[in-house]
Amino acid sequence: MATSTTTWEKLGFRKAFRVGEAGWGHTLWVALVSFIYFLPVLIIVITSFKVQNEALSVPAKFFPTSFFGLIPEQYVFTPTLENFTSVFSRAFTTGGAVESTGFDRYFFNSMFIAGSSVLLALVIGTLAAFGFSRYPLKGNDTYLFIILTTRMLPAIVVIIPIILMFRIVGLSGSYPGIIFLYTAFNLPFTIWMMKSFFDELSLDVEDAARIDGSSELRVFFKVCLPQVVAGLAATFVFGLILTWNEFLFALLLTGADTRTVPVAMNQAVAGGGIGVLWGLLAAIETLFLIPVFLVTFFLQNHLLRGVTFGTVKR
């Protein structure tokens, strides 16, 4: 790539940009599209700074300041941090009785459960994907197909036996139960994704390592794994996003102590006697978005540079 460009430049053919590059004009255009796409999220974030009657006002108030009188007063709201403080400290009232929101606990639960189950699925799934890719079993495709079908059923089908099963073993409402379940929930995705990454790696490098006397373990850890780091990052992010926001299993299988944020959020929606508290809900969602947003942002480099590894043809 680099050589071809320099040759071109030596010959005097200078392009404005190399192939696949664009300038600020493109940025402007993409920024517009991205902003429109992001708008619903932005409104959630804005709503989290509003008190209830400003959230419900007609016409909708979009702007926190009037920008020195530039924006008509009717579109301006006064930002408040009340919602954020009440997520953690102030108890909110549900039909008279005052009870604590307990969202600090729920945030910890979400983080712990999602993090550990995604990592567990990544370890187990990567091993399995490597196996499926390099040492095909008899009826390999059948196994992969069965693994995929487990992802296809509506969750409700398996959930009834799982509830019964957990009750017998004493796992219902406990951390190991839901973590184990989420691991299974993430596995099909992990296996299929990681297998596609392993499939595209060059076998020559591995064979060279074997000829040089590497054991199979060493080939896996020193040759294959470093080449799919980007794939691991991508799979981790996908799994995290899916698990972080999973609702149905969490609703039916977590107890009061292990409840995750989406479930608690749903109860905050359903439980309020005076309708949905939009500001509070928006604040919860904004806080809930931040960790997964940051993880995605920091793994994005891996995601972007790396996803190429999965598909580069030999």
Partner 1 sequence: MTTTVIQSTPSSLTTLAPDNWKLAIIGGLGVSILACLALPATISFWIVALMVAIVAAAFVVNAYRRHYYGGLLAAPAIAVLFVMNIFPLLWSLGLSFFAYQSNQQTIRFVGLANYSKLLTDDLKAPELWANLTNTAMFTVLTVSVQMLTGFLLAVLFAKQFPLRRYLLILVLTPMMLSVVAVGVFFSYYYDPTFGIISQVIKAWTGEQFILFSSKTGAVAGIVFADAWMWSPFVMLLVLAGLVSVPTYLYEAAAIDRVGSWRRFWTITFPYIRGLLMLALLFRTIEAFKMADLIILLTKGGNDTMTISYHVIRIANEQNKTSEGAALSYLLLFVVIVLTNLYLYIANRRSQGN
| Binding residues for partner 1 restricted to 62-121, rule: CB under 8 A | none
Residue 257, Ramachandran bin (φ over 0: left; ψ between -120 and 50: alpha; else beta) = alpha
Nearer of residues 25 and 96 to partner 1, judged by Cβ: 25
Contact residue for partner 1 among 10, 14, 313, 314 (CB under 8 A):
313
Nearer of residues 98 and 230 to partner 1, judged by Cβ: 230
- Alpha-carbon distance of 303 to 294, in angstroms, equals 13
- Closest by CA position to 188, among listed 136, 144, 230, 157: 144
Contact residue for partner 1 among 10, 11, 40, 226 (CB under 8 A):
40
Nearer of residues 79 and 307 to partner 1, judged by Cβ: 307
* Count of positions on this chain that bind partner 1 (CB under 8 A): 112
Residue 286, Ramachandran bin (φ over 0: left; ψ between -120 and 50: alpha; else beta) = alpha
Positions 251 through 280 that interact with partner 1 (CB under 8 A): 261-262, 265-266, 269, 276, 278
Contact residue for partner 1 among 69, 154, 226, 273 (CB under 8 A):
154
Q: How far is the CB of 80 from partner 1 (least distance, A)?
A: 18
- Alpha-carbon distance of 229 to 88, in angstroms, equals 37
Burial 108-144 (b: 16+ CB within 10 A, else e): ebbeebbbbbbbbbbebbbebbbbbbbeeeeeeeebb
Q: Check residue 6 for interaction with partner 1 (CB under 8 A).
A: no
204-243 mask for partner 1 (x: CB under 8 A)?
A: ------------x-----------------x---x--x--
The window from 33-41, 71-79, 83-91, 95-103 that contacts partner 1 (CB under 8 A) reads: 33-41
Q: What angle do CA 58, 61, 64 make, to 5 degrees?
A: 160
How far is the first Cα of the chain from the last one, in angstroms, to the nearest whole number? 16
Contact residue for partner 1 among 145, 205, 218, 221 (CB under 8 A):
145
Q: Check residue 1 for interaction with partner 1 (CB under 8 A).
A: yes
Contact residue for partner 1 among 6, 9, 27, 100 (CB under 8 A):
27
Q: What angle do CA 48, 50, 51 make, to 5 degrees?
A: 120
Q: Check residue 16 for interaction with partner 1 (CB under 8 A).
A: no
Q: How far is the CB of 45 from partner 1 (least distance, A)?
A: 10
- Alpha-carbon distance of 60 to 117, in angstroms, equals 41
